[in-house]
Amino acid sequence: MDENNLLRPTTIIIFGATGDLAKRKLFPAFYNLYIDGRMPEQFNIVALGRGDNNDEDFRSYIKENLNIFSRNKLSKEEVWIEFKSHITYLKHQIDQEDSYRNLNEKLKIFDAEIGERANRLFYLSIGPDFIATISEHIKNAGLAGNPVQDRIVIEKPFGHDKNSAIELNNLLSQTFKEEQIYRIDHYLGKETVQNILAFRFGNSIFEPLWNQQYIESVQITVAEEVGVEARGSFYEGTGALKDMIQNHLLQILCMVAMEPPASLESGEIRDRKVDVLKAIRRIPVEKVDHYVVRGQYGKGIVDGKEVIGYRQEKGIAENSDTETYVAIKFYLDNPRWKGVPFYVRTGKRMKEKQSYITIQFKPLPNSTFSGTQHHLSPNKLVINIQPLMDIRLQFMTKKTGLTLALKPVEMIFDYFSCQEDSPEAYETLLQDVLLGDLTLFMRSDQVEEAWDVVKNIQEYWAIHKNPFFPNYEAGSWGPQAGNILLERKSHDWD
């Protein structure tokens, strides 16, 4: 059956519709889904904001931003006219009951026009501090009384530590059942990350090698060239550990390390991810400095231009101890991965923007070329997430010529060569929400286990400040200690 036939009439309610995420990601994603015929035949988008906009003013604002941020530009005016007719702006105050009563009346009007009670998708494109308030008002106004039809989407960060995540999960459970809650992580919507499942479990040449017998190490890197930009006040209270490691990188680690699921059913896949998080060895507080490196960028040169250090950014304290770089060595205590180090790192103001996974295989124990002048580079599987989108298998082969000489080569599967205009991550995730597919979304126990993984690190850093910040130049690959973390096992960052 065509999955689009499963899309029931839906009203999408966006809290924070005038914010940055909505204009850059959400409206472009819904627009692209509409062009591709992947929206419900009957749908409404209710944009909630504090300003005194009318429908036409807000639609003009969306049109302007679609021309900037959408992969499908507004080339056909008739398509835009059709799409904009589905958008309604509603002035809304997050903490006022009257606003939710007004919203309820608007939803009833839409249902009457459609001729049935539509699905309701509440998207919280707002700061995490407002989740509790909105959830409580939705409950009091009776806006989400149907557990089959009503869904809520929540952006990260989901809490700021394990206790706050548990508290937030408990609060949401008073209004929504677990199967209604979509905790979104846009990294899991990226094409190459999703393809890990197909790559691992759809190919007999890789899955038998996916274990401690054949794999030497695993690396996961998410490096950014940019600094904190306009997010200084948010980032100052968050840092790289909470902003990136606890969610993005641990979720990618789960995709790489999970056991084969018995089926593609969402609950089964999410169970296997939780198993990975439980298997990650917790780093004792007294050993945090041995397994974890933190850094903060100072001034430097990026793309040939001088840039300021983190402490000089707007909204940042002059003696800030917030980390902008983290590298961690994890071990998983299970039979598949016993003794295999998983290195994860992320940082701002790095030398290049790169996100990738490297699987390095062990050398042959008794190679024909051992003890000869031939240098054997390790076999590697590299999964590039962004800006490149490809999978590279690195192996040794003979150089062309009359003498026997070896060289490393790559076999590459390039997504862009197959489809230049690939759907963006939010398109994939939002369509899954519309379909009710929870596979790529974090469950409550996943969130709590992920916070538990970094709990000791948080507690240690809260007590022990770093007196050497800033400790890496903008435009570099981070502090030297990040390299030493791998060198202790004779490894290098790829």
**Cα–Cα distance between 236 and 87 in angstroms, integer?**
35
> Where does 50-100 show beta strands of DSSP type E?
87-91
How many CB atoms are closer than 10 A to CB 224?
A: 18
User: How far is the CA of 436 from the CAs of 8, 120, 153, 433, 470, in angstroms?
Assistant: 10, 11, 11, 5, 45
Tell which residue, 424, 478, 491, 490, has the closest CA to residue 190. 424
Structure-derived torsion over alpha carbons of residues 192, 198, 200, 203, reported in degrees to the nearest 10 = -130
Calculate helix-pair angle for 250-257, 191-201, nearest 10 degrees.
20
Residues written for the chain:
494
Tell which residue, 248, 231, 238, has the closest CA to residue 321. 238
> Where does 139-259 show beta strands of DSSP type E?
150-154, 181-183, 215-223
The reply to whether omega before 387 is within 30° of 0 (cis) is yes
Sheet of 150-154, strands arranged across: 87-91, 43-49, 10-15, 119-124, 150-154, 181-183
Catalytic residue among 92, 186, 248, 491: 248
Pairing of strands 292-295, 150-154: unpaired
Residues 11 and 110: beta-carbon distance below 8 Å: yes
Residue 16 tokens read as 């924070």
Amino acid at residue number 178: E
Q: How much helix, strand and coil, in percent to the nearest 5, is found in the chain?
A: 40, 20, 40
Place of tokens 């393809």: 195
Residue 279's H or E segment, with its range, is helix 266-279
DSSP 288-334: HHHHEEEE-EEEEEETTEEE--GGGSTT--TT----SEEEEEE-B-S
Can 491 be counted among the known catalytic residues?
Answer: no
Residue 430's H or E segment, with its range, is helix 425-435
Tell which residue, 463, 467, 493, has the closest CA to residue 480. 493
Q: Which residues are catalytic?
A: 248
